[in-house]
Amino acid sequence: MAFFSIYRNHSGSAASYLADRNAGAHDAPPPAIPSKEIMTSPCSAKRLSQLLCALTLGLASQFALAATEWQLNPAGNGLGGASRLSALDVGGVGYVQILPSSTDPTGFNFIEHGAYQALQSDKSTPFGAQDLTITYTVMGHGSLLNPFALSFTSGSINLYADRNFDFASTTGSYGADNGNRIASFSVFGGGLNANGMVSVQANAVAGSVLAGYLFAADGSDLAKRNNVLMNLGVFNQQTTPDSLLVAEVVCGMAGSTGAGCNGTPFVNTPFAYTVKDGGYATISAVPEPEMVSMLLAGLGLISVVARRRRAVV
């Protein structure tokens, strides 16, 4: 997703971001609560308080684990071949169009189309036994006066697994929408972080997650879960496009009929330009309502027991 050049203040490239993130320079998903913390937590010595505390901390640990770890099997043949992940590195290209706001002279609307490929830690080798790719269309608005007012409001993200490693080709759309579409997501929010990273959040479309590919930290298939989230965090840099990017993304995915698509050369402008992105994607399951209710009930009972003990003292 684009960090727009009209007020761009991040000088790093996608590659430098990925290198920095591995070195710990950028925020990463928080670690899960270690199980030993449950054993050493200062619960009450009383049996009831101790049991309630253990139950509540156990549920909290499951929440933290679900939010920071997930499992992925690119072949789609079940949990046995899945890799445990906290985040999946991605890299790709996009085309950004800036449109004036009809209601705010200092604001603008935008739409971006693009494609990503999942990568291994070397940032160049495709991840897994099949080519994992993403196509996206995102929309939102921003302010010419305040870059941090950038907001994503709608759009779609699709995740594919393809036996043929043909990303960045003329097959399909930039080689990114081939094979099995294993999940579709609807964008509901996102913006620009203080470190210059663009973050986009999306909910899985009901019934769109294929079985056998995506799993929660506990091994449950996300195809059976009701609320699955994707988060994309990327940096971008404006790039001079090659003919493939123009033909496949600018003319094809975005449907442009202007420069580059009408027989005239494509040239980046402040209001229509191509970008190269790099960052990561995470997928997680929102805890089921029953588990949330159990956690809240446990916290409430611990509070009641604590108040009664203080009253006795």
Q: Which of 208, 228, 249, 185 is nearest to 66 (CA)?
A: 228
Cross-strand pairs, 215? 71, 221
- Looking at residue 109, its pLDDT comes to 97
Residue 145 in 3-state DSSP? coil
Cα(224)–Cα(66) distance, integer angstroms:
15
> Can you give the pLDDT at residue 194?
87
Q: Which residues contact 90 (CB under 8 A, 6 or more apart)?
A: 116, 117, 118, 119, 134, 232, 234, 277, 278, 279, 280, 281
- pTM of this structure: 0.75
Burial of 126 (0-12, 13-18, 19+ CB in 10 A): middle
Task: Report the pLDDT value the prediction gives residue 54, as an integer from 0 to 100.
Answer: 53
- Mean pLDDT in order along the chain per 10 residues (313 residues): 44 41 45 39 50 49 56 96 94 96 94 96 89 98 92 97 96 96 98 93 97 96 95 95 98 97 96 96 76 48 55 54
The residues pairing with 142 across neighbouring beta strands, listed in sequence order, are 108
Distances (CA, A) of 29 to 24, 36, 235, 243, 259: 11, 20, 16, 37, 41
Confidence (pLDDT) at 29: 46
Q: 89: helix, coil or strand?
A: strand
Instruction: List the structure tokens of 301.
Output: 């009972």
Are the C-beta atoms of residues 84 and 69 closer than 8 Å to each other?
yes
pLDDT at 233: 96
253: phi then psi, degrees, rounded to nearest 5: -65, -45
Q: Is 93 exposed, middle or buried (0-12, 13-18, 19+ CB in 10 A)?
A: buried
Q: What is the DSSP letter of 250?
A: I
Going by C-beta distance under 8 Å and a sequence separation of 6 or more, which residues neighbour residue 308? none
State the Cα–Cα distance between residues 72 and 188, nearest whole angstrom: 23
What's the confidence (pLDDT) of residue 303?
Answer: 57
From the list 74, 138, 72, the residue with the least C-alpha distance to 282 is 72
Please say whether the dihedral angle defined by the alpha carbons of residues 166, 170, 173 and 178, taken in this order, is positive or negative. negative
What separation, in Å, do the N-terminal and C-terminal C-alpha atoms of the chain show?
58
Q: Which amino acid is at 175?
A: G
pLDDT for 123: 86
> For residue 274, what are the β-bridge partners?
95
Which among 99, 98, 131, 130 has a CA at the least distance from the CA of 115?
A: 131
State the DSSP code for 288: P
